[in-house]
Amino acid sequence: MSDSFKQETITPFKQEKPSSLSVKEVDSLKQFLGSSTEYYLQSFNEIIQGKKYKLNVAAAMAGPLWAASRNVWFLFWALLVTDILGCISIARSIWSSEAYPEASFAVGLGVLIVGRLIGGSLANSLYYKFYCKWRITPSVLSCSSSNRIMKGAVLIAAIYPLTIYKFSATQVIDALDTFPTSRKIASTTAKSIDNFVDWLTISFEDVFDSITWAIKGMLDFLELLFIGTPWPVMALLLLLLSWKMAGWRVVAFTAVSLSYLGFFGFWDKAMSTMALVGASVCICLLIGAPLGILAAKKPKFNTVLNPILDLMQTMPSFVYLIPAIAFFSVGKPPAVLATVVFAMPPMIRLTSLGIQQVSPSVIEAMLAFGASPSQVLFKAQLPLAMPSIMAGINQSIMMSLSMVVVAALIGAGGLGYDVLSSLQRLEAGKGLLAGLAIVLCAMILDRIIRGRMEVNK
């Protein structure tokens, strides 16, 4: 296909006969179709003229194999489902104890026939849509392919027999109904992990103690700041921060929220929770921002890091408590570390995304004027990526607050303890009040960060 035709605007065929098509259109269709050119030339013209449901006999007869050969995989899976449903009903009528086997056979045969007829009626329309996509993106595979026929045949051979047998036989062999495994595999692996954790705990005890001491020092400082400061002073500072970062509306909301925390007796526990969240977010920022910068600049490192971040984000939050307790005992330091693991991925991902979205022309201009890589990073990439980085901080704060109740299980205290205690004692009112206090803390921080992001824009 010529380069000039690739750049043409795609318009439907206006001719009624295939022979009246332009030479370029006929050549492109022949290149796309590979076989049965005359039939599809006529069918595509009929589709353009509004006749969309002409039966394609080859598609109705071959079913999924036709769809696989023509790369119309949506139709392949749709026909595969109807074929299997029909075959299951027929098979149940043959060797299962059906009350009315003739009815099951008739229903199954009807599903097969109707499914194939519908598939054959839609085949040309779906194939024409695929042709339109190919004209826009010629790299998409076209033509009938024996390789795709083989793939379709392998899928059919792998799916049809076992599925039909499973849903139609009166008794299924155990190997098919239950995955063949042994309990020794899981128990042996779990024991090996336990031994490894024990070895780490003993061998790196001094390292874990140092980390615990550092986190405890940070928490003590933040709790002294939030709780030791007289509450009127702390409330005033939070209101001033809200006004400076986000404006008067957020100041009013913050005042109402702080009043709720004070009147309902949640002030000290809310400040303790703020301290825990502050420590967690500081660690996320100190570790996550450099990792995000490195991931943006080193594609190979990003490739290795992505599966780890996926694991951190999808692992149930309760699972993080297991290594935290094993290495750091119970209390607030392990709760902070478990929260950091849960809340750090958004910080890394959004920092990397923000730097990657910086326009290459900006970087090229700075390099052309003799800027060093560090100058490009600190004077262009980080300032331009700041909205994305702020969004990462915001998400880390929200995820840290969502871990408050879970962290209370290992002695984190704060508002999470009230929620956990209410759950254990079935005190619905107290639990709802404490939960609302956590929500208000989250909303205060969210409004302040969002206000700052809007100012940066």
Domains of the chain: 3-177 (no CATH), 205-456 (1.10.3720.10)
Angstrom distance (rounded) from CA 425 to CA 119: 59
Most confident of 10-24, 40-54, 301-315: 301-315
| For the chain, the helix, strand and coil percentages under 3-state DSSP, each to the nearest 5 | 80, 0, 20
Which among 104, 107, 55, 116 has a CA at the least distance from the CA of 80?
116
Residue 198 CB neighbours (<10 A): 11
| pLDDT, tens only, 375-387 | 888 888 888 888 8
- Answer whether 271's CB lies under 8 Å from 258's CB: no
| Residue 229 identity | T
Confidence (pLDDT) at 179: 77
Q: Is the pLDDT reported for residue 95 higher than 70?
A: yes
Which among 152, 172, 144 has a CA at the least distance from the CA of 83?
152
- Answer whether 322's CB lies under 8 Å from 194's CB: no
Confidence (pLDDT) at 452: 65
Which among 293, 388, 306, 301 has a CA at the least distance from the CA of 350?
388
Most confident of 129-138, 176-185, 358-367: 358-367
Quick one: average pLDDT of 267-285? 88
Angstrom distance (rounded) from CA 437 to CA 439: 5
Angstrom distance (rounded) from CA 383 to CA 297: 16
Residue 160 CB neighbours (<10 A): 15
| pLDDT, tens only, 335-358 | 888 888 888 999 999 999 999 988
DSSP-based three-state secondary structure for 169:
coil
Q: Is the pLDDT reported for residue 5 higher than 60?
A: no
* pLDDT band for position 6 (cuts 50, 70, 90): very low
Confidence (pLDDT) at 415: 80
- Answer whether 260's CB lies under 8 Å from 318's CB: no
| pLDDT, tens only, 398-432 | 888 888 878 887 777 778 878 888 877 887 888 88
Which among 257, 214, 246 has a CA at the least distance from the CA of 394?
246
* pLDDT band for position 16 (cuts 50, 70, 90): very low
Quick one: average pLDDT of 27-47? 75
Output the CA angle 86-92-95, nearest 5 degrees. 140
User: Which has more confidence, 54 or 191?
Assistant: 191
Angstrom distance (rounded) from CA 234 to CA 243: 14
Angstrom distance (rounded) from CA 393 to CA 401: 12
- Answer whether 181's CB lies under 8 Å from 187's CB: no
Phi/psi-derived region of residue 215, left when phi > 0, alpha when psi is between -120 and 50, beta in every other case: alpha
Q: Which residues of 15-36 are buried (b: 16+ CB within 10 A; e: fewer)?
A: eeebeebeeebeebbeebbeee
> Mean pLDDT score of the chain, rounded to an integer?
82
Q: How many residues comprise the chain? A: 457
| pLDDT, tens only, 128-178 | 888 777 777 766 555 667 788 899 999 999 999 989 888 888 777 877 777
* pLDDT band for position 112 (cuts 50, 70, 90): very high
Q: Please classify residue 386 by burial: count the beta carbons closer than 10 Å to its beta carbon, then call 0-12 exposed, 13-18 middle and 19+ buried.
A: middle
- Answer whether 397's CB lies under 8 Å from 446's CB: yes
Confidence (pLDDT) at 71: 84
Residues above pLDDT 90, as percent of the chain: 14
Chain-centroid distance of CA 80 in Å reads 28
